[in-house]
Amino acid sequence: MIAELGQFLLVLAFGVAVLQGTVPLVAAMRRHAGGMALAGSAAVLQFLLVAGAFACLVHAYVTSDFSVANVYHNSHSLKPMLYKITGVWGNHEGSLVLWALMLTLFGAAVALFGGALPASFRARALAVQGLIGSGFLAFMLFTSNPFARLDPAPLEGQGLNPLLQDPGLAFHPPFLYLGYVGVSIAFSFAVAALLEGRVEPSWARWVRPWTLAAWSSLTVGITGGSWWAYYELGWGGFWFWDPVENASLMPWLATTALLHSAIVVEKRDTLKSWTILLAILAFSLSLLGTFLVRSGVLTSVHAFANDPARGLFVLCFLAAVSGGALTLFAWRAPRLAPGGLFAPVSREAGLVLNNLLLATLTATVLLGTLYPLGLDAVTGDKISVGPPFFNATVLPLAGILVLALGIGPLLPWKRGDLAGVLARLKFVAVAAALALLVGLWLAGTGPLLSLIAFAAALFMAGGVLSELAQRARLGSLGPAAAWARLRALPRGAWGMTFAHLGLAVTIVGIAAATGFGEERLLQMKPGDRVSLAGYQLTLEGTSRVAGPNYVADRARFLVPGLPAMEPELRRYDAPPMETNEAAIANRPLGDLYVVVGAAAGGTVAVRAYWKPLALWIWGGGLMMALGGLISLSDRRLRIGAPLRRAALPPATVQS
């Protein structure tokens, strides 16, 4: 009964979404107030309906209702309750319901908190949001019904996939979805602005909080996914340039670019077409990720079950959404009023450089991800593009970006003085160069690339901190007054500082873990000892242990000064698969990371890694996300103060 209710609610939501996607568009064209107001109520109603359907699906999982095919395939009565619930979105159909839930949540939030938006703009944005929602709901109803029943109902479910029973895997996808879906707001606002035919600085202010929220979620999701891959897949790596990882990285890069170019629109009323295009591209890339994961076009460890019918639907949807928006862009963008000009050395120019680099990075990742596909289509050759390509292309671009990031925030708007800025950064530059030389001297013929990355990160962090010192006038006012100024800085400034420092932290972590890591691969007998980065690991012995649904070869390593490390090789019965449980000891200077192979003839294959500063990689990611949230809490965004100021002619501003 409950499942049928859920299905019914989805059908209703689809109906509401179609209304929301059509009526307000016509009403906005004819300036019909009632029709435009419909958008808001429809958005809230659509959210309530989808939330009800989601609750029905959760109910089916919690009660282990195996007459629902989706629950039968993906759950099991013996699963812990936490994983029963997270199992709701661990599969294709359920993840779509979660996606729709977040999409409608964002739509309802625009309806409820977007009171300050002009009526026609709000109606148009919500209508676009409704069209996206109707596409997703149709996808669900026509190709991937989460509530399909089985008759007769099986007694027990099949879904005990051990890899999925893990907190890291259970919680990173919702953040990714929140991020992908949040970008849809920027998309809807961009399309609404194109329909309205004008983009003003206030547009950038409206888009900014939604983009920041989406960007922060995406950052948390990518960081969480990378952390999960590190400790669960047992390869000691944290980023594999897997198509699905790239699918999450591309929208992130595009959204990062969008955040920065929107600043230029807001402050200087220029770069408007480009910013609109970025908003369209960021969401298109999010949809592209969905398409790649669900269509079976690319192979990946993350892919859901392949189904060409679904792939065709997502492709048509992608073509309609992106194609429609890009057509509108091609038609309307050339008519947008051009913006103000700026000098080649200025804050604007710095942000343009940022955008050029981020857009090139996005295009590079896109090319690397899709090149095998194109080659297969043209010549039939099968190749895979892996880390060598991405490292050779992405690293130099990222290097320039990092150096520019150290300088850019110090440049003033309109016209800057590069020599002056560089003079202010000379101590930072000298410190970074000295650090590089000392590093070269200490490491000898060590990993040059990592040393350069350290120096670049140091330079960038120095630039970010000097910018903060400059804002506080630390040099001229003295510490006490500077501290008072710092505390009075807008949260947006703190958010930027935090996010930029987070990037430096991540770079240091990546450079240290990849350049200065140590690795031992050996066969060990009980009593054997291996030394790694100053730690002595002694294999005490191996044992066979039985888990709830697996048998494991467990090795026990004693390390002086640390708790015993017990990596396992687990063999599951249903479905039959092997997983490595790495033993990881987090130390202040890095991680000890041990995985074992099968024990045979008294010996066991051991891979032991030393990953210096590995935690910095994800720590920096969390700092970036936190920076986004700090920025989001800025009073200007919360109360929309500049909005009112912009709406009134300057002469009548009252504060």
Partner 1 sequence: MTRTRFLFAALPLVIGLALTVLFYLQLGRDPAILPSALLGKPAPHLALPGLAAGQPGLSDADLRQGRPVLVNVFASWCGACIVEHPLLSELVKDPAVILYGLAWRDRPEATAAFLAEHGNPYRAVGSDPDNRAGIDWGVYGAPETYVIGGDGTILFKWVGALTPAVIADEILPRLKPGAAS
CB of 581 to partner 1, least distance (A): 15
Residues 6+ apart with CB under 8 A from 128: 21, 187, 188, 191, 192
Question: What is d(CA 301, CA 508) in angstroms, rounded to the nearest whole number?
Answer: 28
Told to check if 194 binds partner 1 by CB under 8 A, we report: no
Residue from 72, 121, 238, 291 binding partner 1 (CB under 8 A): 291
Pairing between β-strand 568-572 and β-strand 550-558 as defined by DSSP bridges: antiparallel
Instruction: Among 597, 612, 621, 640, indicate the residue that binds partner 1 (CB under 8 A).
Output: 597
CB 162 within 8 A of CB 82: no
The 234-273 contact track toward partner 1, x by CB under 8 A, reads ---------------------------------------x
Residue of 77, 299, 391, 586 interacting with partner 1 (CB under 8 A) = 299
Strands (E) across 242-357 are located at none
Q: How far is the CB of 330 from partner 1 (least distance, A)?
A: 4
CA separation (Å) from 122 to 142, 275, 279, 556, 647? Answer: 30, 19, 17, 61, 15
**602 counts as binding partner 1 under rule CB under 8 A:** no
Cβ 316 to partner 1 shortest distance, Å? 9
Distance CA 453, CA 465 (A): 18
- Binding to partner 1 (CB under 8 A) within 550-589 occurs at 576-578
Fill in the per-residue mask, 359 to 388: x = in contact with partner 1 (CB under 8 A), - = not in contact: -----------x--xx-xx--x-x------
Q: Is the distance from CB of 183 to CB of 286 less than 8 angstroms?
A: yes
Q: Is the dihedral of CA 501, 502, 503, 504 positive or negative?
A: positive
Point out which span in 276-284, 407-415, 459-467, 530-538 binds partner 1 (CB under 8 A).
276-284
**277 forms part of the interface with partner 1 (CB under 8 A):** yes
Residue 330 contacts partner 1 per CB under 8 A: yes
**Residue 5 in contact with residue 57, Cβ under 8 Å?**
no
CB 49 within 8 A of CB 14: no
Quick one: which of 311, 439, 447, 619 contacts partner 1 (CB under 8 A)? 311
# residues near partner 1 by CB under 8 A = 40
Closest CA to 255 of 188, 175, 355: 355
Per rule CB under 8 A, is residue 323 in the interface with partner 1? yes
Cβ proximity to partner 1, 312 vs 484, nearer residue: 312
Quote the least distance from Cβ 325 to partner 1, whole Å: 9
Angle subtended at Cα 242 by Cα 625 and Cα 166, rounded to the nearest 5 degrees: 65
Q: At what angle do helices 119-143 and 2-30 cross, to 10 degrees?
A: 150
Q: Does 298 bind partner 1 (CB under 8 A)?
A: yes
Q: Decide if residue 523 touches partner 1 (CB under 8 A).
A: no
User: C-alpha 412: how far from its chain's center?
Assistant: 30
Residues 80, 154, 308, 548: which binds partner 1 (CB under 8 A)? 308
Cβ–Cβ < 8 Å for 38, 20:
yes
Chain contacts with partner 1 (rule: CB under 8 A): 273, 277, 280-281, 284, 291, 295-299, 306, 308, 311-312, 315, 318-319, 322-323, 326-327, 329-331, 333-334, 370, 373-374, 376-377, 380, 382, 576-578, 597-598, 600
